[in-house]
Amino acid sequence: QVHLVESGGGLVQPGESLRLSCAASGGFFAGMGWFRQAPGKEREYVAAMGRRDYTATYTDSVKGRFTVSRDDSKSMVFLQMNDLKPEDTAVYYCNVDPVMIPRIGGRYWGQGIQVTVSS
């Protein structure tokens, strides 16, 4: 009965911002984060945050531009994406796990939401 619902994607111009949201239901998830898959490329880790200390980790290409956060009262995880670049274009996937998010991904995945950055 685990169900993940992503929202907030869309089409923006370079330099603009988007905020992705993911609502997770049906369990308790210590690890919550995001992956993405660009056309013709493999899925890659983007960002995640653990439950214990709320410390975030990021892939190098988004550091300083993206911010991951979570609201445990609502069982939600967010990804604030600023200064978006064309290379950020991808399908973004919410990922949650009862324990943690490894770089290969945790147990449960969302359906994915499109983010397109183009002028």
pLDDT tops 90 at residue 21: yes
Average pLDDT, the chain: 96
What is the pLDDT averaged over residues 70-94?
Answer: 97
List residues bridging with 115 in a β-sheet: 10, 90
What is the pLDDT averaged over residues 29-53?
Answer: 95
Any residues with CB less than 8 A from the CB of 25 and at least 6 apart, and which?
1, 2, 3, 4, 75
Q: What is the model's pLDDT at position 52?
A: 84
What is the pLDDT averaged over residues 6-16?
Answer: 98
What is the pLDDT averaged over residues 31-51?
Answer: 96
pLDDT band, residue 54 (cuts 50/70/90): confident
Q: For the chain, what's the residue count?
A: 119
CA-wise closest residue to 66 among 53, 52, 82: 82
Sign of the CA dihedral with 29 first, then 25, 64, and 59 last: positive
Q: What is the model's pLDDT at position 11?
A: 98
Q: What is the model's pLDDT at position 28?
A: 92
pLDDT tops 90 at residue 97: yes
